[in-house]
Structure 1
Amino acid sequence: MKSILAVLAAASLFAGCAATAPPPDARAQFMATLQGMCGQRFEGGLAYAIDPNSEFAGKTISTRVDCTADGIRMPVQVGEDRSRTWIFTRPAAGLELRHDHRHPDGTPDAVTMYGGLAGEGGTARSQSFLADAATAKMVPGAETNVWTVSLSEDGTVLSYLLERHAKPRARFVLRRVDGGRTGS
């Protein structure tokens, strides 16, 4: 009888632990999704802009997923302009997106390294990044910026959406090209 009670107690304890186990970390899953895409290239264009005369209008936009020891870098080319890179890292605070802007000689633009941390509610395929205080100070009006980066279930479509004051400002839709690999 004691052994049956011991087994029931252990089973009860195990069931309680399983019920309170933390859910998988969607931020870590998102980063793992990006890491599984190392070397893949995406190309497309501007699907929406608040300003139809945007510098992105009518230009091909492309990027590739470069994996580094520090995180994920996605150099963004707009037409011939190669001045932008999206940088995803995993600081202690969670998951971060930064926008690195450079001049043709490689020196930093006056407006660079803006972005923020992923908010709550993301998934392994989609995360929304909320502008931080440094961004709000650097870019007037950007205190409400939210950047959402999403990947289709089959990994062939990458979408980047910028919202400000809860209204869309720009959206890029990029499709995987070259079978997804750059050969590196």
Structure 2
Amino acid sequence: MRLTKLHLAVVGAAAALAACTPAAEDPQDVFFNTIAAHCGNAYEGRVTSGNPETDATWMNNRIVIEVRECTENRIRIPLHVGDNHSRTWIITRLPQGGLELKHDHRLEDGSHDPMTMYGGSTVTPGTPTAQAFPADEYSKQLFTELDATVSITNTWWLSFPDENTMRYRLSRENREFHVDVDLSSPLPADDFPPLPWGWEDHYQY
């Protein structure tokens, strides 16, 4: 069939529009950059789903996160629970694509806790506001070696239920744990927690 001038004009206009339309942003890039936008800030959180017995320490102490260190491909977020400054979340852009979440746990002298660097990588693109991190093979082996096999089926989530909330979620069968962080009220600098354990002298990924 011969194309008329009208057909050619329509095809040409469609091609021009396609060329001018920006490609959709990668949801994981949007997600990563949303967290990075809070770099340098600290916020309070609270347990919104948990077990009053096993999660009592979290429920009865002040929870503070710091988006403390951000580079192009990695964000480090210390997590403080009362006087416990042992935890840091590490979110990494992987060279092969996807995101990784690791839990860096330290002892007071800055050395690694035996239960450390567990976590996982995304297996789907997720969304700009939610990413899931099922336990990876390293974590499953670690949980087995340290008699914590109940955690082998862990999936960790980071999400933004709304523009003022970041949620950390741990889920597995018979286990739901959520910490909601209030992003609407950054803490003043003089209310920041002390440095995470090991940050100054021993903090290596």
What range describes the TM-score normalised by the shorter chain of this pair? Answer: 0.7 to 0.9
Q: Which of 165, 169, 177 matches 1:161? A: 169
Bigger Cα displacement from structure 2, 26-35 vs 142-151? 142-151
Correspondence for 2:196: none
Q: Secondary structure at the match of 2:108?
A: coil
Scaled by the length of structure 1, the TM-score of the pair is: 0.81
Q: Secondary structure at the match of 2:29?
A: helix
Q: Secondary structure at the match of 1:33?
A: helix
The answer to whether the Cα contact below 8 Å between 2:78 and 2:88 also exists between their aligned partners in 1 is yes
Correspondence for 1:99: 103
Q: 2-side partners of 1:22 and 1:62: how far apart?
A: 37
Q: Secondary structure at the match of 1:30?
A: helix
Q: Secondary structure at the match of 1:112?
A: coil
Distance 1:5 1:175, change over 3 A: closer
Pairing 1:33–2:34 present: yes
Correspondence for 1:174: 181
Q: Secondary structure at the match of 2:32?
A: helix
Q: Deviations over 1:92-150 (max 9, x none)?
A: 23111000000001101111111111242622222111111111111123232111112
Scaled by the length of structure 2, the TM-score of the pair is: 0.74
User: Any gaps of 5 or more consecutive residues in structure 1?
Assistant: none
Q: Deviations over 1:2-43 (max 9, x none)?
A: 876654443455577899x97431111100101111122121
Distance 1:60 1:141, change over 3 A: same
Identical aligned residues as a percent: 28
Deviation at 1:162, TM superposition (A): 0.3
Give the total of aligned pairs.
Answer: 181
Q: 1-side partners of 2:63 and 2:104: how far apart?
A: 16
User: Any gaps of 5 or more consecutive residues in structure 2?
Assistant: 144-148, 191-205
Bigger Cα displacement from structure 2, 89-98 vs 8-17? 8-17
Q: 1-side partners of 2:109 and 2:184: how far apart?
A: 28
Q: For 1:57-136, what aligned pairs fall within 5 Å after superposition? A: 57-69=59-71, 70-92=73-95, 93-120=97-124, 122-136=126-140
Bigger Cα displacement from structure 2, 109-118 vs 67-76? 67-76
Higher normalized strand content (fraction of residues): 1
Matching residue's letter, 1:77 = H
Q: 2-side partners of 1:79 and 1:121: how far apart?
A: 34
Bigger Cα displacement from structure 2, 10-19 vs 61-70? 10-19
- Aligned CA-pair RMSD: 3.1
